[in-house]
Amino acid sequence: MIAVALHVGVAAAIFLASRNAAARPAQLPAVSVRIVRPEPQPRRRAARPAPQPTRPPVRETPPPEPEPEPVATEPPAAAVTEPPPSDNAMAAPERRATPRPTPATAPAAATGGRGLSLGGGDERDNTGIPSDFHFAYYVQRMLALIESRWYKPAVPAGTSARVRFTIGRDGRVSRIELETSSGLPSFDRAALRALYAANPLPPLPPAYAKNSLTVHLTFSE
């Protein structure tokens, strides 16, 4: 019985406490509010359009003036003619054509600077070139070119070989042959190689009438 009474008392106390709590009004926290008015913004002025450049007035060019008509002029007076020469006047000397210079003749035996010489041909041509070839400048240039291609080996002094060849109109060398051997195959081959290396030579002079030139060239140490 005592336990029942305790339970009833506790329940009654809880019920009374809940009624008192519901009867009290709930207290809300106080919040202060401040009203801020926005500041008035200045009005923006509308941008004015940039002034456009004014074009200068176009001036009209006046039409070209008509050209004056040509005025007929009097024909020029007749040229004054010189009086004919008298019979006692001295006659003018006759004009004669200037003779063309003849080309220099080739020397009897043209030699190079390293042992080349023109000679040793047949009895009719002892200079190594035909007698009607009178162009010394061509002979000197031919020898200089062959010398620049000649690499002679070490041989005894007095060694020589004679070679015969033909130069065409365009300067090409043909019919290269050994006429007289030096007795040393290395020296003979060096002489022949110099001619093959110098081929072609300069074209023959235009004033030369023939189409080819046969040369007898001696290589000597």
Q: How many helices (H) and strands (E) does the chain have?
A: 3, 4
- 3-class secondary structure per residue, 131-168: CCCCCHHHHHHHHHHHHHCCCCCCCCCCCEEEEEEEEE
Domain that residue 187 falls in = 129-220
Neighbours of 198 (CB within 10 A): 19
What b/e readout covers 4-38, taking b as 16+ CB neighbours within 10 angstroms?
Answer: eeeeeeeeeeeeeeeeeeeeeeeeeeeeeeeeeee
What is the SS3 assignment for 18? helix
What is the SS3 assignment for 90? coil
Output the pLDDT for position 11.
74
Q: In this predicted model, what pLDDT tens digit does every residue of 39-53 receive, in sequence order?
A: 766 676 666 766 676
Residue of 148 and 81 predicted with greater confidence: 148
Residue 29 confidence (pLDDT) above 60: yes
- Indicate the number of domains in the chain: 1
Positive or negative, the CA dihedral 172, 174, 179, 184 is: positive
pTM of the predicted model over 0.85: no
Q: In this predicted model, what pLDDT tens digit does every residue of 100-130 receive, in sequence order?
A: 434 444 444 455 556 888 865 444 445 688 9
CATH number of domain containing 183: 3.30.1150.10
Q: In this predicted model, what pLDDT tens digit does every residue of 145-202 receive, in sequence order?
A: 999 999 988 989 899 999 999 999 999 999 999 999 999 999 999 999 999 999 999 9
Residue 210 lies in a domain: yes
Residue 200 lies in a domain: yes
Residue 212 lies in a domain: yes
Output the pLDDT for position 194.
95
Residue 142 lies in a domain: yes
Q: How far from the centroid of its chain's Cα atoms is residue 173's Cα?
A: 34
Average pLDDT over residues 1-20: 69
Residue 134 lies in a domain: yes
Residue 43 lies in a domain: no
User: Over the chain, what is the mean pLDDT?
Assistant: 74
Using pLDDT thresholds of 50, 70 and 90, give the confidence band for residue 91: very low
- Min mean pLDDT across 5-14, 81-90, 176-185, 206-215 is at 81-90
